[in-house]
A and B are shown apart, each in its own frame.
Chain A
Amino acid sequence: MSGRNQADRLLHERGISEDFGAFVAAAAWTRNSRVCACALGDGTLALADAGGFRRVAAHDGAALALSPDCGPAGFLSGGDDGRFLCVSAAGEITEIGRFGRKWVEHVASHASGRRAAAVGKTLHLFDQTGRAQKQLDHPSAITGLAFDAKGKRVAAAHYNGVSLWFVASQSDNPRRLEWKGSHTALALSPDNDAVVTAMQENALHGWRLASGEHMRMSGYPAKTQSLCFSRGGKYLATSGAETVVLWPFTGGGPTDKPPIELAGGDGVLCTMVACHPEHDTVAAGFADGLVVLADIASERILPVAAPGRGAVSALAWSADGANLVFGTETGFAARIDFSKR
């Protein structure tokens, strides 16, 4: 048991945690880094400041999607009750949109005041006051959603590719990035040049926007559910293997370059990754519940939470990089403080 205690040291000494008994579908932080939230399968959000967790009733059904709101102290959430909500750090709820029986499966915002919700094939854009701005239709259901770093474009993944829309454009003709097949998750590089999707066939596909070049990254034993670029865009961290797989996006990569693999050895699938906002460090969660930090350069691994609390299903860093939140399929959630003491 000493190994487990050792692996749980950060959780015990620097964490607050609670078992909510409902699937943690997503986790996020407010932009001011003060409050984190977990979206739960019973429709509630579990909000935590440094003092502890509290529950807020949000959706009638399951909460499916969560992101920071465009403002400093709130969240956006989507549920299978068809509601798109703004939830303040204090837990006050404002309904932004209501879409009947359709699920709100993806939500995103940009600090410039943009809010987005993916409902079936339609991307709904709202401003910071909650006023509907646009409805952008796609050939099939949206499976991934992200604003670019400047908030000028929004990318939506769907079958056979990605649609890239200029948010302020009058014409609403997207740039279509095409690749046949089912794309199931999406990430944009910080320099706004690379768009990468996860695919049904246990592989990634990517496009360089400037050159139009395609990228193909494969070799995964399972589907990649989670992918994100490191702060400078040097690496793309991904789940879906029994290690954390990081593709180099410098020096001509990732095509024809082997990925870096970290935190392997246990034969357990990595299910979630979250890149640190300031350092080349990645947090990773595994199917057995293990959570680690991996330093990319030194390949050193720091355990955060031991296995045994359910497959990790949500993971997010605060924007200042001082705190991490994670949640599991069986409903365990924890907020861990990494700041200097």
Chain B
Amino acid sequence: MAETSQQVPVTVLTGYLGAGKTTLLNRILSENHGKRYAVVVNEFGELGVDNDLVVDTDEEVFEMNNGCICCTVRGDLIRILGGLMKRRDKFDGILIETTGLADPAPVAQTFFVDELVREKTRLDAIVTVVDAKNLTARLADSPEASEQIAFADVIILNKMDLVSDAEAAALEARIRQINRFARIHRATRAGVAIADLLDQGAFDLNRVLERQPDFLEDDSHSHNEDVASMSFEAERPIDPEKFNAWISALLAAQGQDILRTKGILHYAGEARRFAFQAVHMMADGDFIGPWPADAKRASKLVFIGRNLNRPQLRRGFLACQVEPAAA
């Protein structure tokens, strides 16, 4: 397993056309924040900054020949990340802008599929810029808008100058219905501190899960086409074999509906935390640092997707715990 510190952090920037992605990119490229970023864009023409670390690409999504229908990846990114690794001493991180209508899944899945990409880079966070004025309309007319929110680790609620406080609160509530776990930054002209966006380690989810004290309180169901998020906590240690068997079967059966899965697991007899994550059917996991001395060693699992059956998911997860006597 590659050393995390040697892997280049990659931030994926999604958001609808006109939401403010280009404004944000221009800020990241022109502001003096002490770091250098290689930027992969689709339409260079929109970007006003000239920079030898800007790479122009055409999004090329293809299906893997592995029998998994939702397993699509960005072939252009595999090539470009490989090329950028030839001069990796020239930048501190990589930013990937996706087109407005893009489904974030192929980008995220690229980081699971390609062994060289996995070895050399690490998906740091998916940042989604949303236009406060138009979000409600977008959510109504395009599935991509809710998917971009569902996939986000960080959401920039942009153009706050165009909405009232009441409207803003309603928008945040709407975003929370889809994704309870992303951090939301309110902004005008994408004016967010760069340090709050880049090199967050958000995709490895420590922070996201540790920020959720109210983990079990919401018991709403989602038996419809709306994207929603749910979380579960297990008190007793998890049996790795049971968990793998359960999650594999679950994602194989419902991976098209389950957009993202993230978890921090306490494996029986293991002093380190196990971080699990999946995008649709593609899953990955790794041991991260030990449990903090004062922390409760409970396992947490989060799902974001459609048609989530809370009682079924809870029963499945809790059944992965070791027997009480063994714990």
Interface size class of A (residues with CB under 8 A): 20 to 34
Contact A80 to B83, CB < 8 A, known contacts A103-B55, A141-B75, A159-B62: yes
Contact pick for B75, options A23, A61, A159, A180, CB 8 Å: A159
Asked if A337 is an interface residue, CB under 8 A from chain B, the answer is no
Residues of A within 8 A of B64 (CB): 181, 200-201
Tell me whether B115 and A222 are in contact (CB under 8 A): yes
Q: What distance in Å separates the Cβ of B38 from its nearest Cβ neighbour in chain A?
A: 10
Tell me whether A105 and B79 are in contact (CB under 8 A): yes
In the complex, which residues 73-96 of chain B have their Cβ closer than 8 Å to any Cβ of chain A?
A: 73, 75-76, 78-80, 83, 85-88
Residues of B within 8 A of A103 (CB): 55, 80, 83
Asked if A36 is an interface residue, CB under 8 A from chain B, the answer is no
Q: What distance in Å separates the Cβ of B80 from its nearest Cβ neighbour in chain A?
A: 8
For the complex, what is the distance from the CA of A318 to the CA of B304, rounded to whole Å?
56
Q: What distance in Å separates the Cβ of A215 from its nearest Cβ neighbour in chain B?
A: 16
Q: What distance in Å separates the Cβ of A91 from its nearest Cβ neighbour in chain B?
A: 21
Q: Count how many chain B residues have C-beta atoms less than 8 Å from C-beta atoms of the other chain.
A: 27
Q: What distance in Å separates the Cβ of A67 from its nearest Cβ neighbour in chain B?
A: 17
Q: Main SS of the interface on chain A? A: loop
Q: What distance in Å separates the Cβ of A196 from its nearest Cβ neighbour in chain B?
A: 17
Tell me whether B76 and A181 are in contact (CB under 8 A): no
Tell me whether B85 and A23 are in contact (CB under 8 A): yes
Asked if A208 is an interface residue, CB under 8 A from chain B, the answer is no
Asked if A315 is an interface residue, CB under 8 A from chain B, the answer is no
For the complex, what is the distance from the CA of A42 to the CA of B90, rounded to whole Å?
9
In the complex, which residues 18-63 of chain B have their Cβ closer than 8 Å to any Cβ of chain A?
A: 44, 52, 54-56, 58, 60, 62-63
Asked if B114 is an interface residue, CB under 8 A from chain A, the answer is yes
Tell me whether B75 and A201 are in contact (CB under 8 A): no
Tell me whether A143 and B79 are in contact (CB under 8 A): yes
For A21, the closest partner residue in chain B by CB is B89
Residues of B within 8 A of A25 (CB): 86
Q: What distance in Å separates the Cβ of B291 from its nearest Cβ neighbour in chain A?
A: 33
Asked if A6 is an interface residue, CB under 8 A from chain B, the answer is no
3 closest pairs, A vs B, by CB? Answer: A41-B86, A23-B86, A101-B56
- Apart from A141-B60, A181-B64, 19 more pairs, CB < 8 Å: A41-B86, A62-B86, A62-B87, A64-B86, A80-B55, A80-B83, A101-B55, A105-B83, A140-B60, A140-B75, A159-B75, A180-B63, A181-B62, A182-B62, A200-B73, A200-B75, A201-B64, A223-B114, A223-B115
CB within 8 Å of A: which residues of B?
44, 52, 54-56, 58, 60, 62-66, 73, 75-76, 78-80, 83, 85-88, 113-116
CB within 8 Å of B: which residues of A?
22-23, 25, 41-43, 60-62, 64, 80-81, 100-103, 105, 120-121, 140-141, 143, 159-160, 180-182, 199-201, 222-223
29 contacts between A and B (CB under 8 A): A23-B85, A23-B87, A41-B87, A41-B88, A62-B83, A64-B86, A80-B87, A101-B44, A101-B56, A102-B56, A103-B55, A103-B83, A105-B83, A140-B75, A141-B60, A141-B76, A141-B79, A159-B60, A159-B75, A181-B63, A181-B64, A182-B75, A199-B65, A200-B64, A200-B75, A200-B114, A201-B65, A222-B115, A223-B115
